[in-house]
């Protein structure tokens, strides 16, 4: 690969890593992901060169409440995909409390079983930056795994808030894992997540209340289908993940959704919409990173906060002065 002359010097320093990621090296992929997480400038320099090689992997999202069995299901799904000869990347995201930092349940268990397979790459993301950088970071990792040649990338995340809706929004097909007996309160919390599900997975289908849940979900699907004719009629799959039951049915449901997306042109439309959001989010994150860095490095922020607290200044006029002419001119690219 020849070094294009218009690339910045960081790009030239990273050519070897780019080549290794494209060749499927898990070590190079892990290094690149660390650069991206640490906001090391070599991260974006690599991504500029890798981007042309992305867009090939099919991205599956697995979401649901804590305790729904997402990790186990992701494991079994991965094993089933491997048996079909497909390589798999897993991004397990846990946007936990900003106070504890948080840890990823089941991660060690999973690592011991899948990590010896060179056709599988697993990355956990548990930390979070200030103000929602996790969706951008997840999108980056998905692209790295995509460029490294994985056929399928699975994003697994807890389904509770807007962060998770943004994260799972990266997926081509989103599976919502429900379990019997978690009660109405939880169901009502998941309103946002319910709406972005393409496939409902009724896990622990051998537990009491599974039939009731099936009836509720089916009713919901029929209702939605009657409101929005021509849209994807969402499917329901019963699984008992711990016993590896129903996982093949889940793959069939995902493949049907993929087929529907491709036949209707929605696949390209959905990726266009996501590229749009992703590009905006990326520019925004980087711009904010720069502002924050300059305000904190210079000590200006500490000074401003004191003046605001004493009511000598106000944050609104500071914002007006600080941002001044940023993007007040038309953009030419």
List binders of a second copy among 126-165 (CB under 8 A). Answer: 128, 130-132, 158, 160-165
4-33 positions binding a second copy, by CB under 8 A: 8
Dihedral of alpha carbons 169, 175, 176, 177, sign = negative
35-94 positions binding a second copy, by CB under 8 A: 44, 47-48, 51-52, 54-55, 65-67
Nearer to a second copy, 91 or 160 (CB): 160
User: For the range 108-111, what are the long-range contacts, defined as Cβ-Cβ under 8 Å and sequence gap of 24 or more?
Assistant: 109/71, 110/71, 110/74, 110/75
Residues linked to residue 13 through DSSP beta bridges, in sequence order: none
Nearer to a second copy, 255 or 286 (CB): 286
Nearer to a second copy, 245 or 277 (CB): 277
Q: Is 75 helix (H, G, I), strand (E, B) or coil?
A: helix
Does 280 bind a second copy (CB under 8 A)? Our answer is: yes
206-235 positions binding a second copy, by CB under 8 A: none
234-263 positions binding a second copy, by CB under 8 A: none
Size of the site for a second copy (CB under 8 A): 91
Class of residue 227 by CB neighbours under 10 A (exposed 0-12, middle 13-18, buried 19+): exposed
In angstroms and rounded to an integer, the radius of gyration of the C-alpha atoms of the chain is 22
For residue 17, the minimal CB distance to a second copy (Å) is 15
Transcribe 87-108 into DSSP letters.
-EEEEEE----TTT----TTHH
Does 95 bind a second copy (CB under 8 A)? Our answer is: yes
Transcribe 235-304 into DSSP letters.
EEEE-BGGGTBSHHHHHHHHHHHHHHHHHHTHHHHHHHHHHHHHHHHHHHHHHHHHHHHHHHHTSHHHHH
Binding mask 176-205 for a second copy (x = CB under 8 A): ------xxxxx-xx-xx-xxx---------
Nearer to a second copy, 248 or 282 (CB): 282
Nearer to a second copy, 2 or 184 (CB): 184
Nearer to a second copy, 119 or 129 (CB): 129
Does 328 bind a second copy (CB under 8 A)? Our answer is: yes
Alpha-helical segments (H) within 90-182 = 107-114, 134-147, 162-168
Nearer to a second copy, 88 or 194 (CB): 194
Among 144-152, 222-230, 244-252, 325-333, which window interacts with a second copy (CB under 8 A)? 325-333
Does 279 bind a second copy (CB under 8 A)? Our answer is: yes
Q: How many CB atoms lie within 10 A of CB 182?
A: 19
For residue 145, the minimal CB distance to a second copy (Å) is 16
CA distances from 275 to 72, 153, 203, 279 (A): 30, 17, 32, 6
Nearer to a second copy, 252 or 280 (CB): 280
Binding mask 293-312 for a second copy (x = CB under 8 A): xxx--x-xx-xxxx-xx-x-
Does 278 bind a second copy (CB under 8 A)? Our answer is: yes
Question: What gap in Å lies between CA 325 and CA 126, rounded to an integer?
Answer: 37
Dihedral of alpha carbons 14, 26, 146, 155, sign = negative
For residue 297, the minimal CB distance to a second copy (Å) is 8
For residue 276, the minimal CB distance to a second copy (Å) is 5
**Nearest Cα to Cα of residue 234 among 243, 225, 247:** 225
Does 269 bind a second copy (CB under 8 A)? Our answer is: no
Q: Are 147 and 53 in contact (CB under 8 A)?
A: yes
């Amino acid at each position: 690969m020849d070094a294009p002359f218009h690339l910045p010097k960081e790009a030239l320093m990273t050519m070897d890593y780019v080549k290794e990621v494209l060749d499927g090296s898990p070590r190079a992929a892990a290094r690149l992901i660390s650069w991206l997480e640490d906001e090391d400038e070599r991260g974006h320099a690599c991504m500029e060169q890798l981007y042309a090689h992305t867009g090939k992997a099919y991205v599956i999202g697995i979401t649901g409440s804590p305790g729904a069995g997402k990790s186990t299901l992701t494991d079994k799904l991965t094993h089933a995909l491997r048996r079909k000869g497909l390589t798999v990347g897993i991004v397990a995201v846990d946007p936990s409390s900003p106070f504890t930092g948080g840890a990823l349940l089941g991660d060690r268990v999973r690592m011991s079983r899948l990590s010896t397979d060179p056709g599988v790459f697993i990355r956990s993301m548990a930390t979070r930056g200030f103000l929602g950088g996790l969706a951008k970071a997840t999108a980056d990792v998905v692209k790295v795994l995509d460029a490294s040649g994985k056929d399928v990338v699975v994003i697994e995340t807890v389904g509770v808030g807007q962060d998770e809706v943004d994260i799972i929004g990266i997926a081509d097909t989103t599976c919502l894992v429900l379990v019997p007996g978690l009660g109405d309160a939880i169901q009502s919390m998941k309103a946002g997540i319910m709406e972005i599900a393409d496939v409902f997975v009724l896990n622990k289908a051998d537990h009491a209340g599974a039939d009731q849940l099936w009836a509720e979900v089916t009713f919901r699907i029929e209702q939605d289908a009657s409101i929005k004719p021509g849209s994807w009629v969402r499917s329901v799959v019963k699984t008992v993940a711990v016993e590896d039951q129903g996982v093949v049915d889940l793959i069939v449901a995902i493949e049907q959704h993929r087929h529907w997306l491709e036949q209707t042109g929605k696949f390209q439309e959905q990726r266009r919409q996501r590229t749009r959001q992703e590009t905006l989010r990326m520019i925004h994150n980087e711009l904010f990173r720069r502002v924050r860095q300059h305000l904190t490095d210079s000590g200006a922020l500490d000074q401003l906060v004191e003046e605001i607290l004493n009511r000598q200044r106000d944050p609104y006029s500071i914002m007006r002065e600080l941002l001044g002419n940023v993007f007040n001119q038309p953009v030419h690219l």
